[in-house]
Amino acid sequence: MFLVLVAAAGLAVSIATWAEEHNSKADQMSTPERIKQPGWWPTKGTPSRDEYVGPAVCAQCHSSLASSQKLHAMARTSMPAADSNILRTHDRQNFRLGPHTYQIARADNGAVQYSVSDGKQSVSGPLSWAFGTGKVGQSYLYEKNGAFFESRFSYFSTLQGFDITPAHSTAAPESLEKAAGRPVAPAEVRRCFGCHTTASTTNDKFDAARLIPSITCEGCHGPGSAHTAAMKAGIETGAGLISNPGRLKPVNQVDFCGACHTTWWDVNLSGSTGVGNARFQPYRLESSRCWGKGDARITCIACHNPHQPLVREAGFYDQRCLSCHLATANSKPSSDHPGAGCPVSTKDCVTCHMPKVEVPDAHFKFTDHQIRVVRAGAPFPD
């Protein structure tokens, strides 16, 4: 656990004091801290590549779960750029930003070529990876001299087209190379691939050549070779040789998902503020008053089945809200139902208490997971 937290102004405060002032977050950890602990955690890169067996082996015993998980968005978080359906249906795109013109086009061999020109010179090369399902958008990586770069343009679903990638400057770059995209540092490459692919970092070494695209079984449950070998051999203890996040206590469950979706500590240590934080569901959930020190009734998996497609109908979640909240406003709270009854309605709770928040550079409205009574005209709580 941390001894100190360095604030933006350069002040250091003890973690105990910080946590006490922020709804007792002392039981939660940042993702880098979690990864240092024994056992499996998402994005942990210490297991060897041989310890991963791949989803086809998992499906031999868990066929139903494996089949339904393929329909989940996590099963489509990344793919080689040549396999992107978005780039197939948008096979020749031209756009301009300042003095530069851009083109994304599919070559005869199936490769997706990305080029930038200032009217006098141009640079070009194939896009190598596409990240994102396309529900919000999709961003692209290309490689040059052994390093990864993020392209300056991404696809956005609400636009049904391309625009500047979030966090990229709209100012005219100094060179064609900078106009094409930004270099991605090795540590960021590991994090990005760690949350969009499976087994990309093994033996503490990143290896794009041996990864499994998207998040498959072992992306959450950890390497399965010991488990599958034991189960095939009829060893009873084999069931315990695979990680089951559903057995974690509530605080750990939410931090587990937060390894990629961003925890309370991850956000606070980064200094990130503003409406962009609405993208970080674990952070927002853990900032909710009703979260307290953790409640199994409002963890990520209490509402979302990671083996099934995300349910988008608001009414589906009413049963979860009413597992804590009373069904009538004049009823008295109890230990089983400590939440007061809503005086307005007991239907479609999330439409009022988990509003959609527009994140401008993502061109998308995200569901804010900071559960609260929303006041008209109130600023975004951060």
DSSP string, 256-268: HHHHHHT-HHHHH
Cβ atoms of residues 264 and 283 within 8 Å:
yes
Give the 3-state secondary structure of residue 219.
Answer: helix
| Residues 237 and 99 placed together within one structural domain of the fold | yes
| Residues 284 and 201 placed together within one structural domain of the fold | no
Proportion of the chain above pLDDT 90, given as a percent: 89
The Cα 36–Cα 44 span in angstroms is 9
pLDDT band at 26 (very low <50, low <70, confident <90, very high): low
**What pLDDT score was predicted for residue 226?**
98
Distance, CA of 341 to chain centre: 32
Residue 21 lies in a domain: no
| Residues 159 and 192 placed together within one structural domain of the fold | yes
DSSP string, 1-31: --SEEE-TTS-EEEHHHHHHHTTS-TT---H
| Residues 72 and 217 placed together within one structural domain of the fold | yes
| Residues 258 and 335 placed together within one structural domain of the fold | yes
pLDDT band at 2 (very low <50, low <70, confident <90, very high): very low
Q: Which two tokens stand for residue 75?
A: 């099963």
Domain's final residue, options 242, 272, 295? 242
Residue 67: DSSP 8-state: H
pLDDT for residue 4 is more than 90: no
pLDDT in tens, 287-304: 999 898 889 999 999 999
**What pLDDT score was predicted for residue 25?**
62
| Total of domains in the chain | 2
Q: Return the exposure string of 157-176: e unless at least 16 CB atoms fall within 10 Å of the residue's CB, then b.
A: beeeebbbbbebeeeebeeb
Domain's final residue, options 191, 226, 242? 242
> What is the residue type of 41?
W
pLDDT for residue 15 is more than 50: no
Cross-strand bridge partners of residue 331: none
Residue 375 lies in a domain: no
| Residues 259 and 237 placed together within one structural domain of the fold | no
| Residues 193 and 271 placed together within one structural domain of the fold | no
The Cα 162–Cα 265 span in angstroms is 33
pLDDT in tens, 80-104: 999 999 999 998 999 999 999 999 9
Give the 3-state secondary structure of residue 49.
Answer: helix
Residue 15 lies in a domain: no
Residue 213 lies in a domain: yes
| Residues 230 and 297 placed together within one structural domain of the fold | no
**What pLDDT score was predicted for residue 12?**
35
**At CA 131, angle to CA 160 and CA 368, rounded to 5?**
70
Residue 297 lies in a domain: yes
pLDDT for residue 371 is more than 90: yes
Range of the domain at 354: 245-367
DSSP string, 115-173: EEE-SS-EEEEEEEEEES-SSSEEEEEEEETTEEEEESEEEETTTTEEEEPTT---SPP
pLDDT band at 28 (very low <50, low <70, confident <90, very high): confident
Dihedral angle at the C-alpha atoms of 243, 257, 83, 193, nearest 10 degrees? -90
Please write down the long-range contacts of 305-308, taking CB distance under 8 Å and 24 or more positions apart.
Answer: 306/69, 306/72, 306/74, 306/220, 307/65, 307/68, 307/69, 307/72, 308/68, 308/69, 308/71, 308/72
CA distances 248 to 65, 256, 286, 295, 362, Å, are 20, 9, 16, 12, 32
| Residues 258 and 356 placed together within one structural domain of the fold | yes
pLDDT for residue 78 is more than 80: yes
| Residues 100 and 139 placed together within one structural domain of the fold | yes
Of the candidates 290, 340, 351, the one whose C-alpha atom is nearest the C-alpha of residue 315 is: 351
**What pLDDT score was predicted for residue 18?**
38
**What pLDDT score was predicted for residue 27?**
79
The burial of 74, by beta-carbon neighbours within 10 Å (0-12 exposed, 13-18 middle, 19 or more buried), is given as buried
Average pLDDT of every residue of the chain: 92
